[in-house]
Structure 1
Amino acid sequence: MRPAYVYILASRPGGAIYVGVTNDLIRRVFEHRSGAVDGFTKRYNIKQLVYFEQFDSIYDAIQREKNIKHWPRAWKTRLIYQQNPTWRDLFPELLS
């Protein structure tokens, strides 16, 4: 099976955030960054990949995404800070 990913994008540190799930993280983040995806991320200029988790099963990834989406914003922010305290954009690291 292909790995699946839960990811969080942000407009800036402490700014608007978006939680998503995909089986191709590089492609999906590129779509958000290029503006190919209409909706929330395009409207609020949310392009920085600040957090992601990898799963062996798409079902597990979808469940994790649903859980995170229901969390209060403070919990999501804490999750990002634990792994990426400076909210640096992780996308360039995926490409290298």
Structure 2
Amino acid sequence: MLKVQYVFVCFVLLNMFDAATIVKRSYSDRTVRGYVTERTCWWNEVCKEEFQTLFRCKCPSWSYCRSPGRYYNAICSMTETGYIWDQPTSKWRGQ
């Protein structure tokens, strides 16, 4: 009887840890299609200001223009979670 209870407790604990797994969520926005200037942003620089219709600069290929939500400034970051502003390809970077 003790062995059955031990197995049951282990099963419950494993399910609790599985349910507590962090799920990365992101949303990609493709509504902004142009740039104010044709230059590459620095890491952690603001690439899009809130309520603006153009990007300030292009994030490097290893980073994302991301923000905590739609109505926040976005910065160039290596993290691909959150609100991702999908930057269009650029003729000066060949992407």
Q: Which TM-score tier does this pair reach, normalised by the shorter chain?
A: under 0.3
| TM-score, scaled to structure 2 | 0.24
Rg bigger for which structure?
2
Give the TM-score of the pair, scaled to structure 1: 0.24
Q: Which protein, 1 or 2, shows the higher relative CO under an 8 Å CA cutoff with sep ≥ 6?
A: 1
